[in-house]
């Protein structure tokens, strides 16, 4: 580890420039011809004006698939042509975390899928955005496999109370904290289910996934208050220091990143808001839909053969119209909701 005049003794080491990293701008530029068509099927999805995901145009009349758990409020789509449209949420599949949304447009270019065979491990997988260069590139890391569900939590420490569960502590950066729950609150009802005691609360909330929104009724100083809590991945709550380390070491992760029937794991470093659009091979064919940034080393895509059948099902409104708030038992996301 010599420096300065001693370089000749060791070896001159050069540092690769950021643009020359695997996902750097210079290398992504080499992929421009790969995404020249796929980016025309891609939309930028915003919720209440904030970028939340990418989307894939799956029907020329304005049908768009995207990641469901990111959507809230007013949804808009921006096309590669820079046109902007308001979107309506048509249907949601909780198991795959997919939403079908609709914009008012005609003759849009649509996704060309490759669903007959999976890419080989080590093959390039490219995530187009709206720009000329892709947003990220990587390779297939693991052949397709199931990712078991990890139940969501409110983010509170609880104890038994009369007619509910007493909030003893609200975990930092949890959905409960965000929703304004406070120590001393008594949780009486979650998503339409009356809560008898602490254990009943834990058992019931386990049926939901991180990213799900649940309506929570609490008693605070003899007053009934309703809050909407976005469930949190318990991994991120155990220990403040570890959460901070994850943030520093891995970048932001998707809220919902488990419980998918089958995924293709790739190593492209994605922002959570760059999930929801297609991922293509070097031939520019869509082999799947990015669904989660799941860790420092991993991003997940749902394979095309799982995505395609969902399009028609969601169009037929076979699934309940999207209601982001799980406020009735019937809308509990269970792992056998689809298929």
Partner 1 sequence: MSVSRLKNLEAAENSLFKRIVSSVLVLGVLVSAAPLSAQKVKVQKPVSSDPASKLSQVFFKTVPDSLEDLKQIEKKVTSLTESSIHSTVSVRVGDAQGSGVIIDNKAGYILTAAHVIGLAQKNAIIILHDGRRLKGKTMGLNRGMDAGLVKLVENDEIEIDKLPQVKMGDISKLESGEWVIATGHPNGYQSGRAPVVRLGRIVSRKKHLIQTDCTLIGGDSGGPLFNMKGEVIGIHSRIGPATSWNFHIPVSAFQNNWEKLVSGDMWGAKPLGQNAVLGVNGIDAEQGCKVTGVTRGFPAEIAGLKENDLIIQLNDQKITGIEQLAGVVQQYKPGQTVQLKLIRDKKTMSFEVQLAARD
Site residues (vs partner 1, CB under 8 A) = 1-6, 10-11, 13-16, 18, 20-24, 26-27, 29-31, 33-34, 120-124, 138-143, 145-146, 234-236, 238-239, 242-243, 245-246, 248-251, 265, 267, 269, 282, 295-298
> Cβ 310 to partner 1, closest distance in Å?
24
Residue 156 to residues 172, 229, 322, Cα–Cα distance (Å): 9, 11, 27
Burial of 326 (C-beta count, 10 Å sphere; 0-12/13-18/19+): buried
Best CA proximity match to 99, nearest among 76, 75, 67, 74: 67
> Cβ 61 to partner 1, closest distance in Å?
32
Query: Which residue's CB is nearer to partner 1, number 83 or number 244?
Result: 244
**Cβ neighbours, 10 Å, residue 334:** 13
Query: Which residue's CB is nearer to partner 1, number 296 or number 317?
Result: 296
Query: Which residue's CB is nearer to partner 1, number 21 or number 328?
Result: 21
- Structural tokens at position 242: 């570890």
> Cβ 37 to partner 1, closest distance in Å?
13
Query: Which residue's CB is nearer to partner 1, number 26 or number 60?
Result: 26
Contact 310, 289 (CB under 8 A): no
Query: Which residue's CB is nearer to partner 1, number 55 or number 288?
Result: 288
> Cβ 295 to partner 1, closest distance in Å?
6
- Structural tokens at position 32: 């421009």
Residue 115 and residue 329: Cα distance in Å, rounded? Answer: 35
Query: Which residue's CB is nearer to partner 1, number 192 or number 250?
Result: 250
b/e map 157-178, b = 16+ CB within 10 Å? ebeebeebbbbeebbeebbbbe
> Cβ 268 to partner 1, closest distance in Å?
10
> Cβ 8 to partner 1, closest distance in Å?
12
Query: Which residue's CB is nearer to partner 1, number 139 or number 225?
Result: 139
> Cβ 14 to partner 1, closest distance in Å?
5
- Structural tokens at position 14: 């050069």
Contact 149, 335 (CB under 8 A): yes
Best CA proximity match to 215, nearest among 229, 196, 232, 231: 229
| The residue to which tokens 């009735």 are assigned | 328
């Amino acid at each position: 580890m010599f420096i300065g005049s001693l370089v000749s003794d060791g070896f001159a080491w050069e540092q690769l420039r950021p643009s020359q990293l695997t996902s750097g701008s210079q290398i992504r530029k080499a992929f421009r011809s790969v995404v020249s068509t796929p980016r025309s099927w891609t939309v930028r999805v915003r919720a209440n004006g904030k970028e939340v995901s990418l989307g894939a145009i799956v029907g020329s009349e304005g049908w768009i698939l995207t990641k469901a758990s990111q959507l809230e409020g007013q949804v808009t789509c921006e096309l590669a042509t820079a046109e902007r449209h308001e979107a309506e949420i048509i249907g949601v599949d909780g198991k795959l975390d997919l939403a079908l949304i609709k914009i008012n447009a005609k003759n849009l270019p649509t996704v060309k899928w490759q669903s007959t065979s999976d890419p080989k491990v080590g093959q390039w997988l490219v995530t187009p955005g709206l720009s000329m260069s892709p947003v990220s590139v990587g390779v297939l890391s693991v052949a397709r496999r199931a990712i078991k569900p990890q139940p969501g939590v409110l983010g509170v420490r609880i104890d038994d109370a009369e007619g509910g569960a007493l909030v003893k502590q609200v975990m930092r950066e949890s959905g409960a904290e965000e929703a304004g729950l406070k120590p001393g609150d008594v949780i009486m009802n979650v998503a339409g289910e009356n809560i008898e005691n602490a254990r009943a609360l834990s058992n019931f909330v386990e049926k939901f996934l991180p990213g799900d929104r649940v309506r929570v009724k609490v008693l605070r100083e003899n007053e009934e208050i309703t809050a909407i809590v976005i469930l949190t991945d318990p991994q991120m709550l155990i220990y403040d220091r570890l959460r901070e380390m994850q943030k520093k070491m891995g970048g932001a992760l998707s809220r919902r990143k488990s419980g998918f029937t089958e995924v293709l794991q790739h190593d492209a470093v994605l922002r959570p808001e760059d999930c929801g659009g297609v991922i293509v091979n070097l031939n520019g064919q869509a082999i799947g839909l990015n669904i989660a940034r799941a860790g420092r080393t991993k991003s997940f895509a749902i394979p095309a053969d799982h995505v395609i059948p969902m399009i028609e099902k969601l169009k037929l409104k076979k699934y309940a119209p999207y209601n982001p708030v799980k406020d009735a038992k019937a809308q509990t996301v269970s792992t056998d909701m689809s298929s």
